[in-house]
Amino acid sequence: MLEIRPLTADDLDDALTLSTQAGWNQHPADWERLLACCSAGCFAGTVDGDLVATTTVITYGSDGNGADVSWVGMVLVDETHRGQGFGSRIFEHGLDYALGNGGDIVGLDATHLGEPIYRNYGFESVEPVFRWQGMLPRPEDVADEREPGTGRETIERLTLPDVDAVFEFDRHHVGVDRSTLLQELFAEPEVRGFYSQTSAGIEGYAIIRPGRTHWQIGPLVAAEPSVVDPLLRAVSADLPGEKVIVDSPERGATTSSLEALGLARERELVRMTYPDRESALATESVHGFLDFAFG
């Protein structure tokens, strides 16, 4: 029988085993970040004391003009315990938590196989989201024929004194307060990023962090589409020859830039929200997500 309890730090090695078994890109820092940001929303499903299932819920506060958004992720079941309803049970536990703890809107990213299942819970399909994947080019290996930026922006490496301005930019352009998550992210030793700035202030930013098999690019948020390409060029120059993942909504500027870097769409998921169809965490300014677990 499945028993559900809070996920703890002692469970993280086993949780990583589950995400690795599923072929996902999480490494220890990703699980540690989830526990640091939303410990009350992280759940473990156990059988005879062994961890066999997980789910996580992180809730972002409103920017003052909209609703709080809760995001469901890391719905995992050990492959030897599938087909027993464990995934449904732990997902329902997470959904109940979200609805009872500030989730005016609840979102998730579903595979096309999972889409009808979540629709049965009242989730509405919003838009496709894509995982882009590949190896970034080395400068000497590619002729850059892309259009230049506007010429107004400068791209700077993100440092600690910049983070408050980035928090405010993100809050304004994403529509929720993700400062707790971003603060945890920026504090991780291997995480780094870039931001675009004009005389008017910050125009966009991009974060990169290591994963189990690939570096992950995201969040990528830009006030204007023209800012996306210079940010991605800076990332590419910082990670020449590295394998990367970008989780992105359908955005013309992003598609063109990622294709120019030699990346390809490897997976398509669908963004879903409850109880109504909402563009949660995917405003027109959002060109890359942190990953599917965080929205």
Q: Is the pTM of this model over 0.75?
A: yes
* CATH of segment(s) 130-288: 3.40.630.90
Q: How confident is the model at residue 187 (pLDDT cuts 50, 70, 90)?
A: very high
Could you tell me the fold of the domain covering 3-127? Aminopeptidase (3.40.630)
Q: How high is the pLDDT of residue 139?
A: 73
The C-alpha atoms of residue 171 and residue 56 are separated, in whole angstroms, by 22
> What confidence tens digit (pLDDT) does each residue in 192-227 have?
999 999 988 999 999 999 999 999 999 999 999 999
Q: Which of 34, 33, 66 is nearest to 176 (CA)?
A: 66
Same fold, 3-127 and 130-288: yes
52, 85 Cβ separation under 8 angstroms:
no
Dihedral sign for Cα atoms in the order 231, 254, 290, 294: positive
Mean pLDDT value across residues 10-39: 97
Tens digits of per-residue pLDDT, 234-276? 999 999 999 999 999 999 999 999 999 999 999 999 999 999 9
φ and ψ at 122, to 5 degrees?
100, 5
pLDDT at 146: 46
Strands (E) across 136-200 are located at 154-157, 176-177, 192-198
Q: Taking residues 101-120, what's their average pLDDT?
A: 94
Largest CA distance in the chain: 62
* Helices (H) then strands (E): counts for the chain: 8, 14
Contact 269, 292 (CB under 8 A): yes
Q: Where are the domains of the chain?
A: 3-127, 130-288
pLDDT tens per residue across span 57-91:
999 987 656 679 999 999 999 999 999 999 999 99
Flag whether pLDDT at 50 surpasses 80: yes
Query: Cα-flanking dihedrals φ and ψ of residue 86, to 5°?
Result: -65, -40
Nearest-angstrom CA–CA distance, 187 and 83: 39
Closest CA to 159 of 198, 190, 192, 208: 192
| Average of per-residue pLDDT across 110-123 | 96
Q: What's the CA gap between 171 and 245, in Å, rounded?
A: 24
